[in-house]
Amino acid sequence: MFLFLILFILLNSINSCPLTDNYLSRCHCEILTNGESYIKCHEKTLNEVPIFKRSFPYDRLILSNNNIKNLTRSAFDTIKTIRRINLENNSISFIDNDLLRLLGNYLEELIITGDNIINSLEFLTRYPLKNLRILKLHGFNLSEVNLENVFLNMTKLEILSLPSCQLRQIPNLKNIHQLDLENNQISNTVHLSTSYVHLNLAKNFISSIILENNTQLISLNLTENILNEFSMNSIENQNLQDINLSQNYLASFNFSILNDQLLNLNLNSNRLLSLNLIVIPTNLLSLSTSNNLIKQIKFSNRYSSLVNLDLSSNQLKSIEKHFLFEKLNYLNLENNPLDCSCQLEWLKTLILNQNKLNATTWTCRSNASPVSFLSFDFQCSSISVPRVQIFNISYVKISFQYGLYIQWSIIDDKNILDYLQISISEPFYLSPKISPNQTEIFLSNQIQLNQQYHLCLILLHKYARDKYCRVFQTDKLIILRSNEIILERNEQNAIQTKDH
């Protein structure tokens, strides 16, 4: 009984396939478990659209990867109830303007690959396509076509793909949610202001982009352009979740311009020399910076959601210990010239204790061939690094200003200290570079009474970036006369300093 049922289904499929006999060996018809029916013709077997001997309510016609060149007026006359047509990878060179005259009430999806000759879309506009939702045209010449007029009345069209269509501008199409303009001729500076939800601008010639008003935009792909500048208004792009800027020419990147809803950022294969992660989106989950020139990373003391971090193929020798690494589910440091001294022992310990990060492909720089990161001994020769001897903080009032008066003393026997910085966690503040000879500073950076502040004295020297941190409560105010301390005002950063 079971075999009979299978045989019955097969025979019924053959008998219901509305193709003439000479196409039955090259095409087949099926009905899927979800009830969708389709006709599919095998690759590289057709030079024209098959001849259908009768009309039949099939859902999908798949003619992709064949050698069809011409779409004549009557190509779909006997299969006029078809909803989806796929003519991808056929190099179509001619489309009759009356091709779709009988499909207006049914057609929902149309995919066509041209041969870069077709320069008109009249076959789409001559007759109303009331239900068309998805349109993918590849390899057309649309440089002189007014796309706004073409798609004006296609109110149900949501997904539009126009790769390799020689376009020079980004069209403003009101109803489109997803627009693919990959591999076109869009160039120079782009001021982007659209209503799109997903936008693909990969493989163009954009050198600079400014995201202005894109309140609906969720994903943006700019890979393989010639970008050297990226800017955005975080408020007017607040829904953006995914940005791909890989394979461009960015030498620096300002993370502070990003919106807090961003989840994924790809900066692979650029020219970044450093990463400043002092201010990053609070919801950022994945950051990829592989194949850059990164030598230094600055981390924030603020909360971060980051769980995936790719730093592979850079110029990192050492990495500052930071609580961010304890939360990561994925970390890639392969192809870096890691100096596996005692300064990096914390990272090996973290990996072995958590058993979460995979470091099997990481290597350490050595005089001979690279050595596996996990098998290295992480020993340091006896070197004298700068260290803090005194780190005092007072809450003071000088004239009419309230702030923190910070004093320090540093022992630097080998004179290898490059500069210092001071950071405050909330509200976040990072001082400019401070001379190694300086021993005090006055910060009037919105410091308030009876508040707790987390301050760090940061030492940048030849071997590492060391932090000495303290928690300070502003519960006791000291009033100083202005002549008790020599002050030098820095208006931009609200800092007064004195050198010794």
Q: What is the pLDDT of residues 38-78, one digit of tens each?
A: 999 988 889 999 988 766 678 999 999 999 999 999 999 88
Look over the chain and give the mean of its residue pLDDT values, rounded to a whole number. 89
- Does position 9 have pLDDT exceeding 70, yes or no? no
- Segment holding 410, helix H or strand E: strand 401-411
pLDDT of residue 382: 65
Q: Does residue 351 contact residue 357 with C-beta atoms inside 8 Å?
A: yes
pLDDT of residue 14: 42
pLDDT digits (tens, 9 = 90+) for 15-24: 568 888 888 8
pLDDT of residue 497: 36
Residue reference for tokens 């992660």: 277
pTM (2 decimals)?
0.77
Q: Give the span between the Cα atoms of 407 and 405, in whole angstroms.
A: 7
Lowest pLDDT segment from 143-152, 351-360, 364-373: 364-373
Helix (H/G/I), strand (E/B), else coil: 327: helix
The arrangement of secondary structure in 387-499, i.e. its CATH architecture, is Sandwich (2.60)
Lowest pLDDT segment from 51-60, 268-277, 311-320, 408-417: 51-60
Pick the CATH number of 14-185 from 3.30.450.70, 3.80.10.10, 3.10.580.10, 3.20.20.140: 3.80.10.10
What are the residue ranges spanned by the domains of the chain? 14-185, 250-381, 387-499
Q: Does residue 314 contact residue 292 with C-beta atoms inside 8 Å?
A: yes
- Does position 139 have pLDDT exceeding 90, yes or no? yes
Q: What percent of the chain has pLDDT over 90?
A: 65
Stretch 135-157: mean pLDDT, rounded?
96
Of 184, 119, 124, give the one whose Cα is nearest residue 151: 124
Please spell the DSSP secondary structure of 330-384, one letter per residue.
EEE--SS-B--SGGGHHHHHHHHHH--S--TT-EE--SSS-EEGGG---------
Q: Give the span between the Cα atoms of 284 and 267, in whole angstroms.
A: 14
Give the model's confidence band at 487: pLDDT under 50 very low, under 70 low, under 90 confident, else very high: very low
pLDDT of residue 201: 99
Q: Does residue 296 contact residue 272 with C-beta atoms inside 8 Å?
A: no
pLDDT of residue 433: 93
387-499 has the same fold as 14-185: no
pLDDT of residue 491: 35
Q: Does residue 350 contact residue 328 with C-beta atoms inside 8 Å?
A: no
pLDDT of residue 55: 64
- Does position 152 have pLDDT exceeding 60, yes or no? yes
pLDDT of residue 5: 37
Instruction: Fold for 250-381, please state it.
Output: 3.80.10
Q: Give the span between the Cα atoms of 186 and 190, in whole angstroms.
A: 9
